[in-house]
């Protein structure tokens, strides 16, 4: 048995060296085999990332443990202009501020193994119905 869902995140990045800023949006599908997910709390993600005025495919993982670890960790790679990038970010869950913390993702982009930019992205609550309707289970 497996499950999947789709999510859109919208945000900005700020380059560490130059301070240059731009759009950092991504759309991903999280897919997991239920028996593996119970053990690892991790789903595979794939989708599209927009950084500045360019788009690329992304591939990585989403660790989901909002109750015990109190975090969701997105970790994915993508390539643009011949460069490989890695994004790592967390939604750090606080139950007294659940709506804000479940919709705010803070992280960074690495390039050549070094921190390239800081990122803050948000899930728009107006997309909640679409998000919930994207959940699927198959045998």
Neighbours of 39 (CB within 10 A): 8
Residues 64-104 have pLDDT tens digits of 999 999 999 999 999 999 999 999 999 999 999 999 999 99
Q: What element of type H or E holds 101?
A: helix 98-103
In sequence order, the 6+-apart residues with CB closer than 8 A to the CB of 4 are 29, 30, 31, 32, 43, 134, 135, 136
- Residue 25 tokens read as 């949006």
Write down the pTM of the prediction. 0.96
Sign, CA dihedral 42-29-129-24, equals: positive
Q: What is the pLDDT of residue 11?
A: 99
| DSSP symbols for 59-92 | EEEEEEETTTT-EEEEEEEEEETTEEEEEEEEEE
Q: In the prediction, which pLDDT does 42 show?
A: 99
Q: Which domains, and CATH codes, for the chain?
A: 2-133 (2.40.128.120)
């Amino acid at each position: 048995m497996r499950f999947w869902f789709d999510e859109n995140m919208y945000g900005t990045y700020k380059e560490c060296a130059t301070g240059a800023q731009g759009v950092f949006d991504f759309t991903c599908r999280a897919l997991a085999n239920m028996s593996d997910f119970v053990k690892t709390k991790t789903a595979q993600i794939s989708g599209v990332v927009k950084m500045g005025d360019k788009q690329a495919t992304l591939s990585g993982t989403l660790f989901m443990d909002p109750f015990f670890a109190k975090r969701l960790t997105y970790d994915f790679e993508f390539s643009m202009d011949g460069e490989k990038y890695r994004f790592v970010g967390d939604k750090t869950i606080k139950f007294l501020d659940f709506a804000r913390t479940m919709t705010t993702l803070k992280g960074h982009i690495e390039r050549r193994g070094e921190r390239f930019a800081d990122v803050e992205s948000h899930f728009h609550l107006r997309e909640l119905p679409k998000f919930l309707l994207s959940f699927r289970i198959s045998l």
